[in-house]
Structure 1
Amino acid sequence: MMMVMMMVVMKMVIVMMMVMMMMMMMMMMMMMMRIVMMMVMMMMMMTCTLSPQLLHSGLTRPQSGL
């Protein structure tokens, strides 16, 4: 009976570890997406500041929504 309990505990621990790994991967993906979004926003700002003619092509409309 003790062996069965140990097996169940081991399975629970393995499942918990898998879930924790998945959560960590999701958090890393979210952080990467945020960094990528920040870089894209910086690039958009740089292009807008460097070339004023791009301001009239509708680049400012998506920025106002964020």
Structure 2
Amino acid sequence: MVVVVVMVVVVVVVVVVVVVMVVVMVVVVVVVVVVVVVVVVVVVVVVMVVVMVVVVVVVVMVVRREVMRG
């Protein structure tokens, strides 16, 4: 009887440990995916801002040159 109780307790503990490990792995994967998505979004926004600034600077320089020729 005692052996059966000990085996049941051991099985329950092992199942709980496995479930906790799986939950921790899922949480880690979700956090990594969220971080990667945030980094990609930030990089895309920075690239868009840089491209817009370059376009504005080029347009302003061309307009100034045309006005100077004017």
> How does the TM-score come out when normalised to structure 1?
0.75
Judging by fraction of residues, say which structure has more helix. Answer: 2
CA shift at 1:35, angstroms?
Answer: 0.5
Identical amino acids, percent of aligned pairs: 23
User: Which has the larger Rg?
Assistant: 2
Unaligned stretches of 5+ in structure 1?
53-66
The alignment yields a C-alpha RMSD, in angstroms, of 0.7
CA shift at 1:51, angstroms?
Answer: 1.2
Query: In the comparison of the two structures, how many residue pairs are matched?
Result: 52
> How does the TM-score come out when normalised to structure 2?
0.71
1:17 to 18, 21, 26: 21
Runs of at least 4 residues off by over 6 Å: none
